[in-house]
Amino acid sequence: MLRQGCGPGVVLTYGGLLLAFVPLAFWVGMLTLRGGFWRADQRLDDAPTERENWPEVVCVIPARNEAPTIGATVASLTDQDYPGRVSVIVVDDNSDDGTSEAAGGETKNLDHLSMVAGKPLEDGWSGKLWAVHQGLERARTIAPDAPFVLLTDADITHDSGSLRRLVAKAEVGQLDLVSLMVRLRSQSFWEKLLIPAFIFFSRNCIPFPGSMIQAGRQRRQREAACWSGARRLSVRAALIPFAIT
């Protein structure tokens, strides 16, 4: 005999409420107890204006069929408001849309640009990292003493002070690696719907400020990450994570 009001339906109702409460509590905790990490509002500080003798930076851009965007990307780096020398290397990874021709179409400093015709993919390499490797090999030739390397995608437009802020962050913090997340375009309906969720869950996996600090503290040797003549590595990539192997 069951007491009235305590039948199986009531038990199932209580169980359903408990199951609904668990994810609710999880999301409340994520939104209120973790410092608002999901807001993606971290920014690099402005670089000091009184500094002299800014170090040389060489930028490596792997590009495959990026003709619509590569010109703006190159120009945003060659025309930086950066007192030191900036060299830009574009590795044309066997494009068939005129990427090489478009690369120098918008820059005011064409002499800062070097083009590399990508070689066929070798065994044991993924396509993009093979292109990056070829860019770093060229960097050893044209900028052997450059202490900083910037790795970036071919569809990113850099603001005029980004190199100043990256170098200043690395120098002040004595960091080997500075990694930034780009601001992703969010204009169409689907972009507005999906991009915030992508950033939110990316930050769950890789909290941006923490990954920057930890990467800097590792102090990896340049022979493993770049080449023997470089002392530090600054990285800015289009997506997180972006692995260098």
The pLDDT of residue 236 is above 70: no
- In the chain, the N- to C-terminal Cα span, in Å, equals 68
Type of residue found at 75: A
Residue recorded with tokens 């990490």: 37
Q: Are 146 and 230 in contact (CB under 8 A)?
A: yes
| CA distance linking residue 214 with residue 229, whole number of Å | 23
Note the pLDDT of residue 196: 77
DSSP 151: E
Closest C-alpha among 63, 51, 53 to residue 94: 63
What is the mean pLDDT of the segment spanning 5-14? Answer: 57
Closest C-alpha among 131, 137, 146 to residue 70: 131
Note the pLDDT of residue 75: 96
The pLDDT of residue 215 is above 50: no
Q: Which two tokens stand for residue 23?
A: 């994810």
Q: What is the 3-state secondary structure (H, E, C) of 186-210?
A: CCCHHHHHHHHHHHHHHHHHCCHHH
Choice among 1-15, 173-187, 193-207, 221-235 with the minimum mean pLDDT: 221-235
The class (CATH top level) of 57-236 is alpha beta
Report domain extents, the chain: 57-236
Q: What is the 3-state secondary structure (H, E, C) of 102-128?
A: HHCCCCCCHHHEEEEECCCCCCCCCHH
What is the mean pLDDT of the segment spanning 111-134? Answer: 92
| CA distance linking residue 202 with residue 142, whole number of Å | 36
